[in-house]
Structure 1
Amino acid sequence: MLPPLVFPLLVAAVNVVAVDPLVDVDYAKYFGTARPGGVTDWLGIRYAAPPLGELRFAAPQDPLPEEGVQVANQHGLICLRTPGDPTVNTTSEDCLFLDVYAPSAANASSKLPVYFFIQGGGFAENSNPNYNGTGLIEASGMNIVVVNFNYRVGPFGFLASQEVAEGGSLNNGLKDQRKAMEWVQNYISRFGGDPDHVVMGGESAGAASVTYHLTAYGGRNDGLFQAAAAESQSFATMFTVEQSQWQFNNLVLRAGCAGAEDTLACLRNLTVAELQTVNIQTPFPGAQYAPLYMYGPTIDGDLIPDYTYRLFEQGKFVRVPSIFGDDTNEGTIFVYNTTNTIGESDTFLQAQFPYITRAQLAKINILYPVTNDTFPAAPNAGKYWRQCSNAYGEIRYICPGVYISGVLVQAGVTDSWNYHYNVEDPQQTAEGYGVRHTVETNAIWGPQYVTGTPPASYNTTNAGVVPVMQGYWTSFIRTFNPNTYRYNGSAEWGTWGEQGYQRLLIQGNGTLMETVPADQQGRCAYLSSIAVELRQ
């Protein structure tokens, strides 16, 4: 709450900008910050009640009323991650916050297009927290509003078992996301945004979330978004509630709750430190070691009625203009760079996709032969690092995007665009990672507006790709078409097309349309044919 002597000074400052930074969202009043460049931001807005106590493992609830004026000048703490560290002070179980960025000249009648961004992190962490929407707003000519937010991950967001289904709620991380989208519907107009013009975006697990919301409730359209833009959509193994029981049982054992009459209540009564101490990754049944990401959305027969591949195949998805796409070397940051034998490669793939069969692995080994052209300055790389990276990158990321782009066109969504991002950063190429997973986020948001350390070249030799990507993205946000306001000199981005397999190639020296290579088409055709067997 504001000190009584400070509030009059802030109220006086309202008169120097076109939009009132003090916004009433019914349950609270939030005072944002009008920046000198013409963008106002409101940071750390609660969009749901703190998920504490009995609300641990429960669906998100409406935010609680707050007295006085809340100074919205600090990001909320991000959600607890898996594996857990009880000593980290940047995370909290009380983490359901969002940020809003809007042109200061906007008002409640502006009805500006809204970009609603879902961050990634493998459903194990919030890996893109607190991205600053200023760069996108400036690139749009001050014509959009940007929203990003935190959502629960790991067991806090995706613990599944019969006990959780009966005494709590399943897929709470996705329900958090929908709660935030509902908040946008209720309140974004007060910040200058149009609730009837929302583009749902995301990268990696955030892009996976885009596909889950497209297929939610079997493709039921709740009017929460009107277009979608997914970067490196991630298709992991999915389990039913029954198949997820082992996760709950193992957590109960590690937490010392096995003897409790009500094991779910026992888990709820643990302190955060106690729970985080035992919040680790464990192998999927049948696998030899833990996967990269253990928790994730569960087939619950409701929000998620089936495997994502099958829902798209059956046409059970919301039909909206859509962008899907990937980076050239999607798998390199995930596969262990010491992978040196075909056995190590197959074991890695089986750890991520435990239902994969020996016959399928044998076929994959033929489709992805060992390559001796390891990345230039990675002399200690294992012989099969690139082979396994290529396979994993296409199984989990690239081929699902290729598949969805085609399905959209077949379903009558002619506004279906796909991209291949191939902008090489010298250092990352030298380190062996190539054009790594989700590196394009630095160009879309602008390297100075992301958290973490962007590749140095995005401020030097690759700086030219930033306005190109921002031109496509902000044009799509504004008009549901990436070409309307694309950057001068960039290629017209053609749709996937009736003939299919047409995508935009983005490189350091420019953009052009390309046809997906025939060999990649063949590999993706096979991987899509076994996707349901892999439980994707």
Structure 2
Amino acid sequence: MVFPLSVFPLLVASVLAVSPLVNVDYARYQGTARPGGVTDWFGIRFAAPPLGNLRFTVPQDPLPEEGVQIADKHGLICLQTGAAANVTRTSEDCLFLDVYAPSAANTSSKLPVYFFIQGGGFNENANANYNGTGLIEASGMNIVVVNFNYRVGPYGFLASREVEAGGSLNNGLLDQRKALEWVQKYISRFGGDPNHVVMGGDSGGAASVTYHLTAYGGRNDGLFHAVAAESQSFATMLTVNESQFQYNNLVVRAGCAGASDTLACLRNLTAAELQTIIHHADPSAHDQPALLYTYGPTIDGTFISDYTYRLFAEGKFIRVPSIFGDDTNEGTIFAYSTTDTLGESDAFLQSRFPYLTLQQLGKINSLYPKTNESFPLAPNAGKYWRQCANAFGEIRYICPGIYISGVLQNAGVPGSWNYHYNVEDPTEVAEGLGVPHTVELNAIWGPQYVSGRPPASYFTTNAHVVPIMQGYWTSFIRSFDPNTYRYPGSAEWETWGEQGYQRLLIQSNGTTMETVPQDQQARCAYLSSIGIEIKQ
């Protein structure tokens, strides 16, 4: 049979394409080639099950598996702080990743790789199992997407002298690094380029991006080559000694206080038993509001050698093209909607940042006056909800992003971009949420490809924002520049600039460059100036 020339490239691609059956040395995984031209592999182990004596320990190499592993089901996600063990959705055996690649890719394609770190405040896997198909299609079938689970809560971030001596610290971050190392070893077998990896993440995942940028004082091991962080988060960071109370509290609740080896006692509990005593509790808080997130990364002197603000200030970070940015109303989903007095607002802020002094709280109160906003679908909202949310959102999310973008620009990083996402969903605005934390995930991945419930407008009146965001993101993944392949008609995204404070504004009615308002610059200058004092 003679084929027309127009068909020949397709025949070549089909002959050379990566087989859905991929050998990663320790196992063979059978993926699924979808009709739209994307092949996916679900539930690939990138580390050994962190069970038994491997609980609270650095991730180990995956174990050999006999036969072909049918990779058509996502691995169970990691156990969440404050939730019962759910054997149908969660497990302590959770170190799995998913790969999405164009079906026509081959082992010589060397396609750019998007390595996504999900959020969840280091206490849950909040963005598990996002589908990379939409991003691959938006890239013109020119990227590979990897997402994965990592240990959270005490499994990933329990810290004490006992854990340091008998296990390891910051295991959730070490899981992430293990997945990055897996990409270096094996992603070429799926059509990806290990020398072109863009590390992305949202919220806790974006915080993770900053920890990997500053890991080991900024040592570059070549695991990634650009970063894109959505709502980077600077929480309070404790040392091992400062975290000891959390370990002691867990040991007491577990009935292990009298054990000669308290760490072994904790390891001998089943996951179900351990989950019954793990909750968001801080005995030092007394009658302050309950913590949002109990466990998190610890200053261990090696992987995390200091506070994030100080590491960036001292230039101890990897210099790669970078995107950082935030949503207009970062704090609304965290601050209690019932916050009705300045005292309640201050109590919330101090419970999240316990090293704030009274003088600093007073200054914050002057910077963030009470607002007079009302919300049709939240008629019982407290008078200080938005005031509290505004302060928390800038302390933890917005101002750190502004700070990092400026530091990167001043350090001569080849491309420092920042964005302000202000796409309003009518229902969320009416509920008082405004443009809330990480809502842009729905536009970047495509609302039909996320695991949560997207705002309804992303399928209707705001649907046009999706190709715009996907254009910027896939352009950055492909070329380390959000402009090269941006969506037609969208604004050129200029860098932070020599004068600073230049960012992309994304709204329902279009995209444009804006200068960070003077009042926000002033607030962030103050908050960044106290960042090290309040242990960020």
Q: TM-score range by the shorter chain?
A: over 0.9
Could you tell me the TM-score, scaled by structure 1's length?
0.96
- CA drift of 1:425 comes to 0.3
Name the structure 2 match of 1:11: none
Contact in 1 for aligned 2:214/2:316 (Cα 8 Å): yes
Structure 1 stretch displaced more, 71-80 or 280-289: 280-289
The reply on whether 1:46 has 2:51 as its aligned counterpart is: no
- CA drift of 1:89 comes to 2.6
Contact in 2 for aligned 1:59/1:168 (Cα 8 Å): yes
- CA drift of 1:452 comes to 1.2
The reply on whether 1:199 has 2:206 as its aligned counterpart is: no
- CA drift of 1:242 comes to 0.3
Name the structure 2 match of 1:65: 64
Name the structure 2 match of 1:210: 209
Contact in 1 for aligned 2:59/2:178 (Cα 8 Å): yes
Q: What does 1:165-180 align with in structure 2 at a 5 Å threshold? A: 165-180=164-179
- CA drift of 1:375 comes to 3.5
Contact in 1 for aligned 2:14/2:104 (Cα 8 Å): no
Q: SS of 1:363's equivalent?
A: helix
- CA drift of 1:370 comes to 0.5
The reply on whether 1:117 has 2:113 as its aligned counterpart is: no
Could you tell me the TM-score, scaled by structure 2's length?
0.96
Name the structure 2 match of 1:447: 447
Name the structure 2 match of 1:265: 264
| Cα distance per residue 1:384-406 (max 9 Å; x no partner) | 00000000000000000000000
Structure 1 stretch displaced more, 87-96 or 62-71: 87-96
Distance in 2 separating the partners of 1:37 and 1:416: 35
Name the structure 1 match of 2:464: 464
- CA drift of 1:379 comes to 1.5
Distance in 2 separating the partners of 1:390 and 1:143: 39
Name the structure 1 match of 2:485: 485
Contact in 2 for aligned 1:233/1:324 (Cα 8 Å): yes
Name the structure 2 match of 1:226: 225
Name the structure 2 match of 1:248: 247
Distance in 1 separating the partners of 2:332 and 2:161: 37
- CA drift of 1:514 comes to 0.1
Distance 1:284 1:329, change over 3 A: farther
Distance in 2 separating the partners of 1:34 and 1:465: 29
Name the structure 1 match of 2:10: none
The reply on whether 1:503 has 2:503 as its aligned counterpart is: yes
Distance in 2 separating the partners of 1:111 and 1:253: 52
The amino acid that maps onto 1:240 is T
Q: What does 1:69-218 align with in structure 2 at a 5 Å threshold? A: 69-87=68-86, 89-218=88-217
Q: SS of 2:42's equivalent?
A: strand
Name the structure 1 match of 2:327: 327
Contact in 1 for aligned 2:421/2:506 (Cα 8 Å): yes
- CA drift of 1:18 comes to 3.0
| Cα distance per residue 1:31-88 (max 9 Å; x no partner) | 0000000000000000000000000000000000000000000000000000131345
Distance in 2 separating the partners of 1:365 and 1:61: 48
Distance in 1 separating the partners of 2:283 and 2:234: 16
| Cα distance per residue 1:307-360 (max 9 Å; x no partner) | 000000000000000000000000000000000000000000011011111000
- Identity over aligned pairs, percent: 79
The amino acid that maps onto 2:480 is F
- CA drift of 1:286 comes to 4.6
Distance in 1 separating the partners of 2:425 and 2:16: 40
Distance in 1 separating the partners of 2:116 and 2:156: 18
The amino acid that maps onto 2:213 is L
Distance 1:494 1:376, change over 3 A: farther
Distance in 2 separating the partners of 1:477 and 1:310: 28
Name the structure 1 match of 2:8: none
Work out the number of aligned pairs and report it: 523
Distance 1:374 1:533, change over 3 A: farther
Distance in 1 separating the partners of 2:130 and 2:409: 32
The amino acid that maps onto 1:187 is Y
| Cα distance per residue 1:201-223 (max 9 Å; x no partner) | 00000000000000000000010
- CA drift of 1:173 comes to 0.1
The reply on whether 1:427 has 2:444 as its aligned counterpart is: no
The amino acid that maps onto 2:254 is A
- CA drift of 1:291 comes to 1.3
Name the structure 1 match of 2:358: 358
Q: What does 1:299-448 align with in structure 2 at a 5 Å threshold? A: 299-448=299-448
Q: SS of 1:215's equivalent?
A: helix
Distance in 2 separating the partners of 1:522 and 1:279: 40
Q: SS of 2:324's equivalent?
A: strand
The amino acid that maps onto 1:361 is L
The amino acid that maps onto 2:96 is F
Name the structure 2 match of 1:292: 292
Distance in 2 separating the partners of 1:214 and 1:513: 26
Structure 1, unaligned runs of 5 or more: 1-13
Distance in 1 separating the partners of 2:96 and 2:339: 40
Distance in 2 separating the partners of 1:87 and 1:94: 12
Distance in 1 separating the partners of 2:504 and 2:283: 37
Distance 1:463 1:284, change over 3 A: farther
Name the structure 1 match of 2:6: none
Contact in 2 for aligned 1:115/1:144 (Cα 8 Å): yes
Name the structure 1 match of 2:238: 239
Name the structure 1 match of 2:526: 526
Distance in 1 separating the partners of 2:354 and 2:306: 18
- CA drift of 1:413 comes to 1.1
The amino acid that maps onto 1:416 is S
Name the structure 2 match of 1:517: 517
The amino acid that maps onto 1:515 is T
- CA drift of 1:19 comes to 2.4
The amino acid that maps onto 1:523 is R
| Cα distance per residue 1:502-533 (max 9 Å; x no partner) | 00000001000000000000000000000001
The reply on whether 1:24 has 2:23 as its aligned counterpart is: yes
- CA drift of 1:282 comes to 1.1
Distance in 2 separating the partners of 1:86 and 1:117: 25
The amino acid that maps onto 1:46 is R
Name the structure 1 match of 2:7: none
The amino acid that maps onto 2:193 is D
Distance 1:413 1:435, change over 3 A: same
Contact in 2 for aligned 1:30/1:42 (Cα 8 Å): yes
Distance 1:192 1:117, change over 3 A: same
- CA drift of 1:409 comes to 0.7
The amino acid that maps onto 1:461 is T
Q: SS of 1:40's equivalent?
A: strand
Contact in 2 for aligned 1:158/1:296 (Cα 8 Å): yes
The amino acid that maps onto 2:404 is I
| Cα distance per residue 1:410-434 (max 9 Å; x no partner) | 1111400000000000111111101
Q: How big is the alpha-carbon RMSD for the aligned residues of Structure 1 and Structure 2?
A: 1.2
The amino acid that maps onto 1:215 is T
Contact in 2 for aligned 1:28/1:69 (Cα 8 Å): yes
Structure 2, unaligned runs of 5 or more: 1-12
Distance in 1 separating the partners of 2:214 and 2:375: 38
Distance in 1 separating the partners of 2:447 and 2:360: 40
| Cα distance per residue 1:122-177 (max 9 Å; x no partner) | 00000000000000000000000000000000000000000000000000000000
Distance in 2 separating the partners of 1:129 and 1:273: 21
- CA drift of 1:378 comes to 2.2
The amino acid that maps onto 2:308 is T
